[in-house]
Structure 1
Amino acid sequence: IAVPIGAWVESEEVSLRVRERSITISVVAVGLATLAYANINFYFYRYYAEPESLRNERYKAAQRLYEEQTVQSRYMASLGSAYRVVVVGPSPYPYDADTTRYLVAGQEYAMIRDPREQLSLEPASGKGLAFLFFPGNEQYEERIRERYPGGRAGEVRNPVGRHLFDTYVVEPGKISE
């Protein structure tokens, strides 16, 4: 987009006076900045590709993986850097640190593969805890609630309403060591 617009502005410079030229350049710059913002906002916050709309089973499986990673990253970003995010139990979805760091900086991430063995976490000064339970790990939710009381349970769904994972969030300052 920038090349044709740049060529147009360059061709108009000959016939425009200085004042008109600066107005034209300003309007073009504002338009391009608006397009850039809309594109970034759509990509990071609203884009969704429905896996079930695909015909090829391999593509469906890959898209489901990306769907989980994208929704997880967006959920983690919505919490902000004041939380340590903990995935409880085995997860079939690899953590996508690259996407998440673009959405939220300074957020800690941990995994508790087996809560029967490793239930307590090292305290993080001033940070809350957000536990994620993927399907198949629901049996660990009660154990986490007992260890970290005072949180709120929730669930995360994709944009079309399919359940992806459960959450349990303990706000900063409500964690008893």
Structure 2
Amino acid sequence: MASHAERNAPFIFWCVKKIWGDQSSYQVNKPEDINKTPNNQSGMYIFYLDSGVHQYPIYVGITGRNFRQRFKEHHDNQTGVIYKCNNGEFPKNQPPVRLPLIALVVPIHYPMQSKLMESVFLEAFDFCLNTEENGNIRLIVDTDQQFKPEDSKHNFDITFGNVMKEIQDVYNRYDKRS
């Protein structure tokens, strides 16, 4: 399916870099790895599996708490992404060698920007483990050929434009009532 985040990974990572520049990534499978993540920043994050050749985004989230605290919750809670990966619940098509789970962290000082971009990504792409704004969980990672960023951009631009138009429409209705 064209909208799977895994197939659109090159665009997703390009988009993050275009908007926010180079950002840090951290392996997060173990508690000692999580302890290396920022404990003084919040914003948006993307969990992805890394084969060394391809990256497969599986979850996009935001946090008002610091990244370290949020990732510990994902590790300790049975519904958390890290917990599911570490306990063999995800992915069901895992190769014999378990792929490392990486978190790309995007510190954003304005929570509304984080929420807006999370919603746009979820509207544009089907992330395996997101349920809010994204439908059902998928337990199989789509490892089919990935699209070039320019091949994903057109559909993303339409989605992003539609979201911005909806926001503008709400603002226009608000502005007319004052």
What TM-score does the superposition give when structure 1 sets the normalisation length? 0.25
By relative contact order (CA 8 Å, sep 6+), the higher-ranking structure is 2
Determine which structure has more spread, i.e. the larger CA radius of gyration. 1
* Greater fraction helix: 1
